[in-house]
Structure 1
Amino acid sequence: MNTVCASCQATNRVPEERLADGAKCGRCGDALFSGEVVNATAATLDKYLQDDLPVVVDF
């Protein structure tokens, strides 16, 4: 599964069997699944839309 780091916008590949292991970003080391809301900008929205996780947009 590919997911985008909310801190540095790096794309990270995480094996599905390791999702519950507290995955961290390979670039910045922050947790990938913190449960926090991400405020995407026009510049970063396209990156999040390419993520394998669902994206909810509130305009």
Structure 2
Amino acid sequence: MPLYDYRCEQGCGEFRAFRPMAESSRPAPCPQCDRPAARTLAAPMLAGASPGWLGAPPA
């Protein structure tokens, strides 16, 4: 399951949640206040990926 980033507008802040792709566009419940939180855009996390996978030339 993909990991998505969300922001609670009630002052709880940001959080991440694993959710099915079918639910990716729906708000997620905030883990602190349980109110719906909107998904935010984030850069993909590529840490730990091999240079070949990232398309980098061999060193």
TM-score (norm 1): 0.40
Quick check: which one's strand share is greater?
2
TM-score (norm 2): 0.40
Quick check: which one's helix share is greater?
1
Structure with greater contact order relative to length (CA < 8 Å, sep ≥ 6): 1
The structure that has the greater radius of gyration is: 2
